[in-house]
Amino acid sequence: MAQEGQKLSQPAEPGAARLGGKIIIGELIRNMELGRFEMTYTILLPCVFTIYLNPADHAALNGVFDHIIEDGRRALRARVAELNTPLRTFGVTRRAKTMKEHKIACRDWEIEFLSDIEVPVGDVEIHSELNETAQPGFRGTKTTLMEREPTASLRRTTNQLASNRPDARRTDPVYAELRYSDDSGAQVYLVTQNRVRIGRGGNDQSMDLALYTKDEVSREHLIIRRDPATGAFFLSDVSINGTWLNGKRLRKGVEERLPERADIGVGEVLTLQFEMRT
């Protein structure tokens, strides 16, 4: 989460476009549609939204956030109802055989406004999730109004991961860290448990570390295990497309000891940089 107390407000630039509620709600709807998660019979849409604004815009709109949230929820409900409405051709209602139901996994849309100094004045950066628990790999998307790369939360990745996972309190010891970049950007994962399951995950398969990336990465791709008695780490591949340790492909289901620092190749798609903490 953004730490607003550590950010300094900036005055709006002269001539900067005024950011209004209609623009923000339009971006909410666009983010919801881009973050859809398609299944066999239904399409899940994001229902948890964090809206990042420049501190100047955040201060200017602070008094009407509740009204924007209320109006935004109404607009999102209306758009979902529209997506679920059968097509009409020449006045005749026709429901396509392959038409899927659009729905959300939450009881209602959750919308929160935060300020971030890295968001330009007049821009809106929205991060969304498909459910309240925000499981990695079961997520929405990140969008911006000005079509730039999202930046609002990248530098907070380490603390955010540490605080979001129920088994990782800030006082827990950190045994190792994993650094990598997937489709959601640069990430850091702090290893505070003795077993870490890693893969794309899904709605029926939750990972300790879920990677937002291509289908070449299995839902459960690899496992990192720590021996609590010795502190040693071991790596095993449980995937279809393979796991590499410092360039060497592992035999599936056979544990290999991890050195203090190592590059772990995941399905030839991305690399996890492993480093033990002492």
Residue reference for tokens 């827990």: 172
**Contact by Cβ (8 Å): 212, 225:** no
Cβ contact 7:115 at 8 Å: yes
CA end-to-end span of the chain:
28
pLDDT of residue 217 exceeding 70, the answer is yes
Q: Residue 36 above 60 pLDDT?
A: yes
pLDDT digits (tens, 9 = 90+) for 237-256: 999 999 999 999 999 999 99
Predicted local distance difference test score (pLDDT) of residue 211 = 87
Give 143-173 pLDDT, tens digit per residue: 888 888 887 755 443 334 344 444 433 456 8
CA distances from 198 to 59, 145, 221, 222 (A): 40, 32, 6, 5
Cα-atom radius of gyration of the chain, to the nearest Å? 21
- Residue 5 is predicted with a pLDDT of 32
**Nearest-angstrom CA–CA distance, 57 and 62:** 8
Under a CB-based contact definition with an 8 Å cutoff, are residues 54 and 144 in contact? no
72 versus 171: the higher-pLDDT residue is 72
> Which residues are registered as beta bridge partners of 233?
226, 258
CB 58 within 8 A of CB 113: yes
Query: Which burial class, exposed, middle or buried, applies to 40 when counting CB atoms under 10 A from its CB (0-12, 13-18, 19+)?
Result: exposed
- The residues with which 177 forms a beta bridge, in sequence order, are 190, 275
Task: Place 72 in a pLDDT band, splitting at 50, 70 and 90.
Answer: very high
Mind giving me the DSSP string for the chain?
---GGG----PPPTTPPPP-HHHHHHHHHHHHHHT-EE-SSEEE---EEEEEE-HHHHHHHGGGHHHHHHHHHHHHHHHHHHHTSPEEETTEEE--TTPPEEE-SSSS-EEEEEE-TTSPTT--EEEEESSTT--TTSEEEEEETT-----TTGGGHHHHHHHHSTT--TTSPP-EEEEEEETTEEEEEEE-SSEEEEE--BTTB--SEE--S-TTS-SS-EEEEE-TTT--EEEEE--SS-EEETTEEPPBT--EEE-SEEEEEETTTEEEEEEE--
Q: Is the pTM of this model over 0.75?
A: no
HSE-CB for 18 with a 13 A CA cutoff? 5
